[in-house]
Structure 1
């Protein structure tokens, strides 16, 4: 097997996909590859996904890690992973780190059979892990019936992929097998029977084995289904076989007896003799999936539902959670079935973190089961709305809420559901509808004080996206005061979020920080990202860095560092501090995670940063490509998506030499900036782009408005050098005031943002040249060039060089200003060099991440880029390349 040889000899990773119809021989091929791997010294883990158990989060992956006499992971490590099934990203990171450790001692083969049945968490892991472990000798072997399965069809690009497609046996091969099994050529009836199974090896051998044991071939050739039926009919009691079909997995006899007490060991023995079941140690299973599927398909509806109900009750009674029982509850359910609905509801609640899509499906099915006349209808509907909103199926949440509200029997239920509905509406940008619904609920008599307080807080949050801040503030302040007096936790969180949003969207960042900090203390870690970004906007990068470092080193092994809000905060930390290569790596990590989780808000954030980086580097076409997904509407709701898209489109037009187009795009945004329900006007740096567009087009009103907004940002954030310096810079630029521009450069020397320092030096240098102060002007431009060059902001480097050349200046260092090469050691960024050196020195991804204060995700992103630039495919090759290419100090 080439993939095994490459892993064993050269340390290369690989993915092997075996495809083909049921019974075609995929498992036999997989078993043969597994046996070969063991003989070559591989550590192996094998698992099989199944249709019944596809709701269990991560089951096939975790089973592969614990399978066999020598499991890939020891008991403590497995116990640690079991605790993380509610945290998909930390679980995947931990699995990757553990496999990396194992692969450092021996090559690894992970086998997942019937991957078409894998659950959502397992599919996420099996998409991500081959990519993240592309630098390690880990081979992934998938068997699937579906050649177009997105898991295998969209295989990772960082690992070599091989596909083995198994087709049907040729007629000559079938005839040869028949002669071998029967000792003579098949008769006409047998031949007709063999012709009817389409060359499927399993069905061919089943037919021939039956004939070899004395079955008649002088009757009409039975189809496989009839053969299975005949074997079932030969049993005095077929209950154990039917139960096995419903369980869908290997089981012990005593477990079967707890589900159906009448089952006996004799029944099992007879089913084994009949060729339906087989023993695997102390467990019993079907001898082939096709037999199980055939038996299951032949069950009557009543028998199937009865056995599934028994299985669900047994699992719950024996200590399993609702997720384990949910597949059976689903299959047993009938309209009005409150028992099944309750199981599905609880399973959905358990699945929210690890299996959000599954959670949404389960809770919707639960609600569809119960009838409006039943007692549990309202409570089931309320829970359904809550879960659908949490998994961001917001339109469905509103739809179910409306169904519940139409029949709500009391004001309290009506109000609770309306609060949930408005939270969904907040996420999809429909604040006016939220306010109307809340006002409707508040009009109901007899509401409890806590619920009235919660409604008021939800209303205040909606108003932050509806009204100018000065109008929305009073409602938010009143809501927070009342929520604190009442002590309703939900109301407090909603009101704190409203106040934090107002502070951020009006540029009062110290105020916003205080509210988001309190919100995190009473809420959860997801608000830490908001707190870090507010610290950044206040120039408190040291404090922001301390929180980011704490997230990487927290007591849960970096769980918080894997959350998209924290990854986004790290991305912005790198971007605004001028670590553009690190920001790019962070953005690509965030983009990948956003796509994996369906987190469109952070996916959009990542695309905006990647577009901004491309513009700084002068790569207008690439920036345009990053904006394409956001323009198409696929990333987020329009109300959230469009402001960022318009900003980037205006910047792109300006960078592309189209100032009139830029002004047309940006003008509506600029003159409504004070009423904006987003924070972009109060981020240092944007107003310089607006002012330059205004000056390039001769639009003085446009220019002066940008200067005025920059001044307001400084006034709202006293003592913050980035805001004060940026405002001074624009005022000096527009007024052609050298003193103000000089003052701006002094103030911005205290700013941690190098791009702002370079901008001020450039503008100061330009004006000095205009006033004839050539030497001073060139000195300032030279200072700007040095900063831009150090950042990798090639577009600005080229522009400053053009200005200096026109002023008659030349610099030897300009010979080094070419774009970074795309291949070889010189193509590596500073961060990539550090990662390459650590990995080539024998460090694992996790160790490198700890030493560099990065997340393992980011290290993996760097490694993929390093592999591509150095044209290597394994850690061994990377080590050799580092030694060969690294310049001698």
Structure 2
């Protein structure tokens, strides 16, 4: 308690968050310590929520976290919030945002204690919540109290430096303590035989008290130490009917007598009374539970396979019959399963389908287990395998999906089944960058007789989608357009969805962004979900940032838990919005958030995007070592496929080399990309901004052909996106750089004045200023360079600022404002970015993260990322300390 109390006091008095972790083996007293800490916290005015994870129910998504939020005399959630949160387990990131917002709101009134016992049994969603929420709520007076058997569990380590951790390891009792307990329980010192027994339990207080209580009830003295197990067995043997105890061990949770009777009708109230009298079970109101987990584990380990499987099967059937979903029944189906068990396989397969959204890793494991149960000779083998492949593809376990598809296809009896499975396998192969194999499989399926018109259309659409990664857009269009027509003619929903996705990918890869926007909008209307982020990205590429911002605001305001409001897709779209509009601080915060989310969910594509943006921001700030460090682990391997990884990484490596003055190396890195750009199946050539880097590398190395090719591609991008200022201005600017054409650069500046992208405007002003100086027009050139310097400074592009200053100094210019361009310090108020200053002021004024996010048009996650950075720079650990620091450090107005 002396170790725990400082954490509670810091939260109550100073508003600091913290973690308390109680560790030790089963029976060592962790729950008793948790109860004592909880009682102290309640007396100190904490709002407390407590729950316990359990091994049997660990598949139930989010159960311990949600139970903690609704427990106690004054639950942290009201009935309306409980109903809302229960409906969000299929949208885990939305659920975490809502839980975090609720805890933040409660913590603004009183400190909060969240207690979770036995976190080693927490399900995947709960573990995600318990890893993420302490970090997101760092600085709020929220204390997290966990009990775990394993001190090395990932949940027992601090999630961030800003969250202080106190670990309380519970070890065995010493001999003197054991002797004192024996004297208290028995009323006299233990006999020699009893002492030998007590010496054999390793100082475990629960086992000590169990042995002593048995002796107090009249059990014979001198039972061997291993006799705790025997004592449990003896207590069972004394029962006329032990069924209720065995059922309690299998259920793994508290239960009412009528519930037990619905599972096993022979159970009676008298059986329960006798089990309680024997010390095996105890009453908790009208519910029955084991006195301790060790008793349950001992009873459970003693069950024969037949009894255990029979009781688990009964529990699974009861749960399904009483309206629970397959996920609730899955733990029992898993334990009941035997080879060839179609009933258990069906439950596991349905549970995997239900878990695909909230618990993707668990979903994949469940369907694989289901498939392994079924034998090829059984009728359910093919449909189970097909559903397994579908779920594995949805949770992006594509290698497993292809493996199971091959197993089913080897024994498929008809062309229709084979075709359906080949579509799923082909889509999985497309995801992992193996489009050639995808096309080969589809062609084989199409050659088989007996495939329906609808499935032929679906196969054709899947083939078209694969071709978007295999061939230049102009060539793959010949297959994609007919596939969409066939899908619409067949009226097959899946075929139409695949074909629309292929058309959107095709148009984007060819740089026809208005066309791509139209297809992704139609795709969103067909699916009803999930393609809002693609639409936003295309609006950005069309310079329609106001429209993109409107959709982002709608996504942030969405309260329906729909997929459009979830991360990481919307966070990625927001990150690109901020980056392209020159809001580098916000882009960096969004990218850091996206890296965390990508790793949490295994979304390596979005994680890669975030790493590239973090590296780009570092380059723009002149932090070359940081930019290289960001790229190194991704270059060395990473989990995204090469077809996804290599173009972006190669571009960044070339840019990094050029920024470091290694232009010849940059040309070598970038040459293959540039001269294969027209035949690339990737979309990077049609993003404004890249071609200026290529032109500058070509000029620095004297490679006119290299520069000319980059300018020609920029001109094609403008032709494919008429009226888009960013494309047209970049085309004029690159042509002006290659040809040293002052008129073209002047026209480029005029066009780019309409572009919403400040970096492009600054680039064009810098290039025109440099050329004017070269033509001897010093005053006009310096004015343009001054304009470029101001834009660079406004967005924090320090590297470009320094380059412009160097050019101007060589021209004999000096500016007083250059004295203010020193690198930002790492600590104190001056270390805060503009975005962090806004967040610090809003939070210190009493706003919650969610309210600040709404005012700044950011996601709450991004505000949390800013807040953690602010805490580090200002060396504070709570909102109270932040408020004091803001008042003390903020420069006076004026």
Under TM normalisation by the shorter chain, which class is it? Answer: over 0.9
Question: What is aligned with 1:470?
Answer: 474
Question: What is aligned with 1:191?
Answer: 195
TM-fit CA distance, 1:218: 4.0
Residue 374 of structure 1, aligned match among 371, 374, 378:
378
Unaligned runs of 5+ in 2: none
Stretch of structure 1 that moved more, 173-182 or 704-713: 173-182
Question: What is aligned with 2:705?
Answer: 701
Contact 1:245 1:292 in 2 (8 A): yes
TM-score (norm 1): 0.99
Residue 51 of structure 1, aligned match among 51, 55, 60:
55
Aligned pair 1:24/2:28, yes or no?
yes
Residue 562 of structure 1, aligned match among 556, 563, 566:
566
Question: What is aligned with 2:14?
Answer: 10
TM-fit CA distance, 1:153: 2.9
Stretch of structure 1 that moved more, 24-33 or 702-711: 702-711
The 1:744/1:278 distance shift into structure 2, 3 A limit, reads same
Residue 847 of structure 1, aligned match among 843, 851, 862:
851
SS of structure 2 residue aligned to 1:525: coil
Contact 1:660 1:697 in 2 (8 A): yes
Residue 159 of structure 1, aligned match among 146, 149, 163:
163
CA distance in 1, matches of 2:170, 2:835: 44
TM-fit CA distance, 1:220: 4.3
SS of structure 2 residue aligned to 1:161: strand
1:777-817 Cα deviation digits (max 9, x unpaired): 11111111000011100000000000000000000000111
1:614-672 Cα deviation digits (max 9, x unpaired): 00000011111111221122231122111111111111111111111111111111111
Question: What is aligned with 1:134?
Answer: 138
Question: What is aligned with 1:690?
Answer: 694
Stretch of structure 1 that moved more, 625-634 or 780-789: 625-634
TM-score (norm 2): 0.98
Question: What is aligned with 2:245?
Answer: 241
Question: What is aligned with 2:497?
Answer: 493
Stretch of structure 1 that moved more, 552-561 or 511-520: 552-561
1:107-126 to 2 correspondences below 5 Å? 107-126=111-130
CA distance in 2, matches of 1:133, 1:347: 32
CA distance in 2, matches of 1:486, 1:558: 29
SS of structure 2 residue aligned to 1:112: strand
Unaligned runs of 5+ in 1: none
Question: What is aligned with 2:598?
Answer: 594
1:461-860 to 2 correspondences below 5 Å? 461-556=465-560, 560-860=564-864
TM-fit CA distance, 1:407: 0.6
Question: What is aligned with 2:417?
Answer: 413
The 1:218/1:795 distance shift into structure 2, 3 A limit, reads closer
Residue 288 of structure 1, aligned match among 289, 292, 299:
292
Residue 256 of structure 1, aligned match among 235, 256, 260:
260
SS of structure 2 residue aligned to 1:46: strand
CA distance in 2, matches of 1:189, 1:634: 61
The 1:219/1:582 distance shift into structure 2, 3 A limit, reads closer
Question: What is aligned with 1:231?
Answer: 235
Stretch of structure 1 that moved more, 796-805 or 196-205: 196-205
Contact 2:435 2:469 in 1 (8 A): yes
1:564-603 Cα deviation digits (max 9, x unpaired): 1111011000000001111111111111111111111101
TM-fit CA distance, 1:219: 5.1
SS of structure 2 residue aligned to 1:407: coil
Aligned pair 1:887/2:891, yes or no?
yes
CA distance in 2, matches of 1:249, 1:156: 34
SS of structure 1 residue aligned to 2:723: coil
Aligned pair 1:65/2:69, yes or no?
yes
Question: What is aligned with 1:875?
Answer: 879
CA distance in 1, matches of 2:45, 2:568: 38
1:408-447 to 2 correspondences below 5 Å? 408-447=412-451
Stretch of structure 1 that moved more, 51-60 or 151-160: 151-160
1:253-301 Cα deviation digits (max 9, x unpaired): 1100110111111111111111100001111000000000000000000
CA distance in 1, matches of 2:336, 2:558: 44
SS of structure 1 residue aligned to 2:594: helix
1:695-729 Cα deviation digits (max 9, x unpaired): 11122221111111111111111111111111111
Question: What is aligned with 1:329?
Answer: 333
Contact 1:127 1:156 in 2 (8 A): no
The 1:294/1:365 distance shift into structure 2, 3 A limit, reads same
CA distance in 1, matches of 2:465, 2:226: 68
CA distance in 2, matches of 1:301, 1:734: 79
Aligned pair 1:363/2:399, yes or no?
no
Stretch of structure 1 that moved more, 547-556 or 220-229: 220-229
Contact 1:483 1:495 in 2 (8 A): yes
CA distance in 1, matches of 2:586, 2:193: 71
Question: What is aligned with 2:90?
Answer: 86
CA distance in 1, matches of 2:444, 2:791: 57
Question: What is aligned with 1:453?
Answer: 457
What is the Cα-based RMSD across aligned positions, in Å? 1.2
Contact 1:405 1:414 in 2 (8 A): yes
